[in-house]
Chains A and B, each alone.
Chain A
Amino acid sequence: ETGVTQSPTHLIKTRGQQVTLRCSSQSGHNTVSWYQQALGQGPQFIFQYYREEENGRGNFPPRFSGLQFPNYSSELNVNALELDDSALYLCASSFRTGANTGELFFGEGSRLTVL
């Protein structure tokens, strides 16, 4: 148990729709990162939020957006869904104290299927 919870666990959408995924970080953590994991691949960094501001972004288009709230919960929003967006979306929280990235605490993920 990492103390990081994600919802929903599974969902099915159709191409062109929008989706919001939610994450509740571990208590005391100030940083939330989102990763996309396609089947058979390693997780790919989408973006990170630190103290409610985006603090780094991977190679994902602007239709991937996010929010971090004062209570360190977070959302990942994906607009205009495409078939290739089908993946496991992982939220990871951590406590950032400096420039280095330490241990990440992952949730169980939200599995999105786009038809």
Chain B
Amino acid sequence: SQQGEEDPQALSIQEGENATMNCSYKTSINNLQWYRQNSGRGLVHLILIRSNEREKHSGRLRVTLDTSKKSSSLLITASRAADTASYFCATDSGFQKLVFGTGTRLLVSP
């Protein structure tokens, strides 16, 4: 079963615009991670935020975490065509596994 639900399911923007994706989850977590997947290939880790953190930055990525609302958001600033991919949130609830959400498909047009 999927723990997280990403919103929106699909997002289409122009290069240079910002892209925001949201993730909601159901149970308490140790950390939440975001991954990227190009065209059905392997997933690539983007960023990890721990349950006691509220915000984290990495390059053009900004992640926030609100454990009271059981939600997270991923912001990609100044999007590029190369950012076109599916983005997944994944939660660690201490059972030695990550539970992935359903993903957001991002299309960045030149």
- The judgment on whether A and B are partners is yes
B residues less than 8 Å from A59 (CB atoms): 1
CB atoms of B41 and A103 under 8 A apart: no
Are the CB atoms of A42 and B2 closer together than 8 Å? yes
CB-CB < 8 A to B1: which residues of A?
44, 59
Q: Are B43's CB and A90's CB within 8 A?
A: yes
Secondary structure class of chain A's binding surface, majority of residues = loop
Q: A33-B97, A100-B92, A101-B30 are in contact. Are A42 and B102 (CB under 8 A)?
A: yes
Structural contact, B44 and A42, CB atoms closer than 8 A: no
- Whether A45 and B92, one on each chain, are in contact in the complex, defined by CB atoms closer than 8 angstroms, is no
Indicate whether B110 reaches chain A with its CB closer than 8 angstroms.
no
Complexed CA–CA distance, A102 and B33 (Å) = 8
Q: Flag if A56 contacts B96 (CB, 8 Å).
A: yes
How many Å lie between the Cα of A41 and that of B41 in the bound state?
Answer: 13
Contact status B40-A100, CB under 8 Å = no
How many residues of A are in contact with the other chain, CB < 8 A?
Answer: 33
In the complex, residue of chain B having the shortest beta-carbon distance to the beta carbon of A2 = B42
Q: Report chain A residues within 8 Å CB of B31.
A: 100-102
Asked if A43 meets B97 with Cβ closer than 8 Å, knowing A101-B30, A101-B92, A102-B48, the reply is no
Q: Does A99 interact with chain B (Cβ within 8 Å)?
A: yes
Q: With A48-B96, A100-B94, A101-B96 as known contacts, state yes or no: A41 contacts B102, CB within 8 Å.
A: yes
Q: Which residue of B lies closest to A101 (CB)?
A: B92
